[in-house]
Amino acid sequence: MSNWTPSSWKSRPAKQQVEYDDPAELADALARLSRLPPIVTSWEVEKLRKQLAEAGRGERFLLQGGDCSERFSDCRADLIDAKLKVLLMMSTVLVYGSGRPVVRVGRIAGQYAKPRSESTETINGLTLPVYRGDLVNRVDFTPSSRRPNPNNLLEAYSRSAMTINFIRSLLAGGWADVHHPEVWDLSRLGKNPQADEYHALVQHMRESVRFLDATLGRPLEELAQTEFYTSHEGLHLDYEQAATENPPLRTGWYDLSTHLPWIGERTRDLGGAHIEFFRGIANPIGVKVGPGMEPEELLELVRVLNPENEAGRLTLIVRMGAKKVTDRLPALVDRLKRSEQVVTWCCDPMHGNTYKTADGTKTRHFDDILAEVNSSFEVHASAGSVLGGVHFEMTGQNVTEVVGGSCGLTEADLATAYESDVDPRLNYAQSLELAFLVARQLKKRRG
Ligand code: PEP
Ligand code: CO
């Protein structure tokens, strides 16, 4: 990797970075951070890369999902449990639909930094730094909360570690055991039309598991530990650098704050600091791709980020919006195909479909989300390419942030339980419903 070091990004213009008022305090926090043990290991990261390569070829399907932004206050057993449950339920539905294994990746255990369009916010004549996620400052509109605080970096790292620790314990302890899918809270599905379908699926699973146990002569769980990976937007480069190391017995540098860091749509410019940092780390990485991306620009980006053209290295998370995807995506797919560049294509049907209601509430319509997913499947099918996965903003709670779906949420309902400080998320029922609809597409295209 020519001329790359974990800090070489500092010689490039860095967007969305934070102005701290005390450089010594920041340096001290980063030094302390870099001495802490990693949150994930390079062994897990390498395993994920293989699975993403499989997803790119259509041998597996990627389900990536979670909050737009985690808050420190989300580091709670019940909330983590609920998020994990809905993701596992969705993946179960997708496995049955696709007949393929699913790689599960949460936007979790580190999704604490947000890109913003302005650097300050003014209310009643008072101007303060904008909220950039709990990694940087706090959302309350007071000078002390909005001050970028270097200690938040350590707090975020600790809470990420606690979150993944709890997830690992739940999974290792048999909580997601295929023998007991019925514990996954079916009661909360209520009258949702998917409830019957889910019950039938669970019954089918139970019988299959019994059959396999009997055939193997030992419980299936001994072979099938549920795997789960983490991801976050690698926005705050000082933070990512502090977590980057060259582990023993490895030649490369790994960002071990997460398995799959991604570059956001606002920081993916070719000459910028984020591309410089990401090109040198050994993790599989994601890049958001919006409707402004041109085919030649994408090709250059892919060559910079994946010069060896390795499968699984690069996941392109396309977020065009339902109205633009059929127009914009084919030329991108075609350009990479003609150059034989290997990528894993993923559809983020959330970020191109955000709009504001008359009273200024940020929302998305379930139908637009579904339409973007379906159009992406179509585009890839026509191009002889593969849609390898989906990327959702979602939660295990019954929030009211996205309109539509068979729960029938309208704009008038949004105020009932709108909790997100940033983007609107699919609620529990909407998430599961979408999983069924994606599974249907996968089944239809299974051949
Ligand atoms: C996000 O994933 O929350 C986000 C900010 O997305 P994008 O970079 O695609 O706008
Ligand atoms: Co978002």
pLDDT at 140: 97
Residue 439, token pair as written in the block: 């599974």
Q: What is the length of the chain? A: 447
291 CB near ligand 1 (under 6 Å): no
Compute, in angstroms, the gap from residue 138 CA to the centroid of ligand 1: 19
Neighbours of 211 (CB within 10 A): 11
Atom nearest to 114 CA in ligand 1 = 5
CB of 68 closer than 6 angstroms to any ligand 1 atom: yes
Q: CA end-to-end span of the chain, whole Å?
A: 42
Give the pLDDT confidence score for residue 199 in this predicted structure: 79
Q: Does any ligand 1 atom lie closer than 6 A to the CB of residue 265?
A: yes
Query: Ligand 1 center to residue 351 CA distance, Å?
Result: 6
CB-side neighbour CA atoms (13 Å) of 203: 6
Describe the crossing of helices 366-383 and 325-338 by its angle, rounded to 10 degrees: 30
Q: How far apart are CA 140 and CA 144, in angstroms?
A: 9
> The tokens of 185 are what?
């809270």
Closest CA to 63 of 108, 99, 106: 106
CA trace torsion 76, 81, 84, 86 (10° rounding)? -120
- C-alpha 250 – ligand 2 centre gap (Å): 34
Please state the φ and ψ torsions of residue 232, each to the nearest 5 degrees.
-155, 165
Decide: 316 and 301 in contact? Cβ < 8 Å. no
Three-point CA angle 223, 227, 229, nearest 5°: 165
Q: How far is CA 324 from CA 159, 171, 264, 301, 352, in A?
A: 38, 39, 19, 21, 9
- CA 154/CA 124 separation, integer angstroms: 33
134 lines ligand 1 (CB under 6 A): no
45 CA to centre of ligand 1 in angstroms:
22
DSSP state of 413: G
* Long-range contacts formed by 183-187: CB under 8 A, 24+ apart: 184/85, 184/88, 184/89, 185/85
pTM, two decimals, is 0.94
Using CA atoms, how far residue 65 sits from 78, 224, 322, in Å, is 18, 22, 19
- Gap from CA of 316 to ligand 1 centroid (Å): 13
**Closest among 388, 295, 382, 403 to 347, alpha carbons compared:** 388
List residues bridging with 286 in a β-sheet: 262, 315
Query: What pLDDT, on a 0 to 100 scale, did the predictor assign at position 178?
Result: 59
Phi-psi region of 408 (alpha: psi -120 to 50; beta: other; left: phi over 0): left
Q: Cβ neighbours of residue 41 under 8 Å, at least 6 residues apart?
A: 247, 256
* CB of 67 shorter than 6 A to ligand 1: no
Residue bearing the CA closest to ligand 1, atom 10? 265
Domains of the chain: 8-115+152-175+227-445 (3.20.20.70), 177-225 (no CATH)
8 A C-beta contact, residue 309 and residue 280: no
Report whether 30 contacts 238 (CB < 8 A): yes
- Could you list the pLDDT tens digit for every one of the 447 residues in the chain? 779 999 999 999 999 999 999 999 999 999 999 999 999 999 999 999 999 999 999 999 999 999 999 999 999 999 999 999 899 989 988 988 888 899 999 999 999 999 999 999 999 999 999 999 999 999 999 999 999 999 999 999 999 999 999 999 988 876 666 556 555 555 666 667 777 887 787 778 778 877 777 776 766 666 566 799 999 999 999 999 999 999 999 999 999 999 999 999 999 999 999 999 999 999 999 999 999 999 999 999 999 999 999 999 999 999 999 999 999 999 999 999 999 999 999 999 999 999 999 999 999 999 999 999 999 999 999 999 999 999 999 999 999 999 999 889 999 999 999 999 899 999 999 999 999 999 999 999 875
